[in-house]
Amino acid sequence: MENADINKSMELSHALKVHPCFSRGNASNYGRIHLPVSSHCNIQCKFCKRVYNDSENRPGVTKEILSPKDTIKKVKKALELCPQITVVGIAGPGDSLATPQAIETFKLIHRAYPTLIKCLSTNGLLLYKYAQEIYDVGVRTITVTVNAVDPCIGSKIISYINYKGGKYYSKEASSILINNQLKGISKISKLGVIVKVNSVLIPGINDQHIGAIAKTVKDAGAFLYNIIPLIPQHEFSHILAPTCQQLNEARITAEKYISVFKNCKHCRADACGIPGKKDFSNELYEITSYPETFSHG
């Protein structure tokens, strides 16, 4: 094995041991910080409602947007508050690849903190385009939200996408998105980045489609799969959240094809601390206490 391959293998092994959102083992004592630098999104999902506040604990929510240069001070302070932090992530509140701020931020963070794991979340629309840049700025773990691999089902979940200067709707939008997601997962996994796929479980829409998603993303190169229960809001406010039984059945189905992650804490875009244990967001971002609610992420 070449030295470059050995180094890559060691990097990935380390990430799986100490990344609390990827490890299936004993990573529960490790922390992460999310840097809210990505304000815009290039798709509109019918369950997604991005807001700015300090009162909700779910993805798509932050108190403020940071500039890339501001993130260095935030990471420094976060490590002082929580030395167990091993991961710097960007998870919104918009899409990490819809604007250049995420990649700019990772360039700065990787230079200042080369040993911290860099993690990015995206809807995958532009993943194929930016895969090499993502790898080059030190990102070694990535989460891609894939809610359907059938355009007919996907068209029921997304309202539209903005892509290459055009706005696309319905099945055409879904086809473009799914194609780009799968190409992106394949490309970035071949570069050596660990891919986790998130799916929002939406009763009556994609709950019978989970097996197909799991198999397809596994074949494309995904390593891990995370099923998130819908929180009824926005255009899907009328759909009931899945029951624990429905969520468990979906996980059992997915496990036939891919390893399933079951410890997701549905974090805010400005989360900081040890998931499920100690949170330092209040001190880091001066956030008031918030109730335990969650959504997709």
pTM value surpassing 0.85? yes
Residue 13: the pLDDT is 74
Per-residue confidence at 102, pLDDT binned at 50, 70, 90? very high
Query: What does the block give as tokens for 32?
Result: 């992460």
Any domain includes 292: no
The pLDDT of residue 23 is 73
Is residue 214 included in any domain, yes or no?
A: yes
- Is residue 271 included in any domain, yes or no? yes
> Could you tell me if residue 137 is inside a domain?
yes
Domain membership of residue 91 (yes or no) is yes
For residues 114-140, give the mean pLDDT. Answer: 96
- Domain CATH for 48: 3.20.20.70
Q: How many domains does the chain have?
A: 1
Q: Is the pLDDT of residue 291 over 70?
A: no
Give the structural domain span for 72. 3-285
pLDDT at 178: 99
Q: Measuring CA to CA, which residue among 263, 272, 268 is closest to residue 297?
A: 268
Average pLDDT over residues 228-240: 90
- Tens of pLDDT, residue by residue over 191-210, are 999 999 999 999 999 999 99
User: How confident is residue 60, by pLDDT bands cut at 50, 70 and 90?
Assistant: low
CA dihedral 105, 107, 109, 115 (to 10 degrees): 140
